[in-house]
Amino acid sequence: MPAVSAAACCAAATPANEVAEDLFGFLRVLSDGTILRSPADPVFCPTTFPVSHPSVEWKEAVYDKAKNLRVRMYKPAATSAGRLPVLVHFHGGGFCLGSCTWGNVHSFCLRLAADAGAVVLSAGYRLAPEHRLPAAFDDGACFMRWLREQSSVNAAEAADFGRVFVTGDSAGGTIAHHLAVRGGSSAAAEPGETADPFTVRGYVLLMPFFGGVRRTPSEAECPAEAFPNLELVDRFWRLSLPAGATRDHPASNPFGPDSPDLSAVNLRPVLVVAGGLDLIRDRTVDYAERLAAMGKPVELAEFAGKPHGFYLHEPGSEAAGELIQAVARFVDGFVAAPEAAA
């Protein structure tokens, strides 16, 4: 059922039509299935976040007109480093909330572009429960196709499309995982180094939003006052997974009973970031350890004492800078494509 404005349906939430699910008042689902979304800015996304950076230029475009999906593009204003790597970024929000236009996402992407020395493309996607999974994964794949087309017909001078990396925060990290699996499972999956001018070199999963029916210790021991807590995470999965699915669905659990065998997938290098205080910490570390045991090219960076999404809560912090430097080191491990002859 399509979403409707809160103002138009405020009278709908009567005792006979109660609120069944409520996400901070920004998203409410009534017992009859009506979905109410508030146009207000979220309280955890204050307007005090920086909206500009002295060394970064940015603009916004629509990459899918039919779905009204947007992308914000960030480019360091001046550089002597030649063409820059491209970081495709997908925001978080439990697949139900979030936008590339939110202030915390915007501020983080500004700093990511500046400090990592990269062109950053922050892409939106359709949200649940209006569009349940795998809609977000499909939109991520759609954006990658759009970007490939743009790289061939309207190549940006600053961008090295031979060094594309897919990054994502929380739910966006889950999108990055599924794009990596799709790319590594395709018939044309990277038989070796290729002359294709558009090449995805690796993936960066920032505290990916994974789930499962069995509780991990970090989930079971998560305090109720944490953000997110277990109740909120379960609500996100109820609203985003296909109707009737459990948290072991392949969309949420990369090692569930029906999930693809990752040992058979030709994965590109992956950087996985975990937070010591994140309730999803155990799943994140387990993911990296299992990939390593399969012989996959994976790196794990764990930030002790840090909660889920700390780099978005305080994008100007020293810890956020350390995380961005970890991403930059990962990206810098891939040699830049040679400049075309004049």
Residue 35's beta-bridge partner residues?
Answer: 29
- Kindly report the backbone phi and psi dihedral angles of residue 234, in degrees, each rounded to the nearest multiple of 5, phi listed first: -60, -35
**Between 135-153 and 171-185, two packed helices, what is the crossing angle to 10 degrees?**
70
Contact 73, 61 (CB under 8 A): yes
Sole residue written with tokens 């205080």 = 277
- Residue 258 designated active-site: no
Cα 66 to Cα 126: distance, rounded to the nearest angstrom: 12
Helix, strand or coil for residue 187? coil
- Assess whether 278 carries a catalytic annotation: yes
Half-sphere exposure of 342 (CA within 13 A, CB side): 0
170, 218, 240, 252: which one is catalytic?
170
Catalytic residue among 115, 160, 278, 282: 278
Omega within 30 of 0 (cis) for the link into 315: no
The verdict on whether 248 is a catalytic residue reads no
The 8 Å CB, 24+ separation contacts for 20-23 are 21/235, 21/238, 21/239, 23/94, 23/96, 23/97, 23/232, 23/235, 23/236, 23/239
- CA 133-99-12 angle, to 5 degrees, is 70
**Residues labelled catalytic:** 170, 278, 308
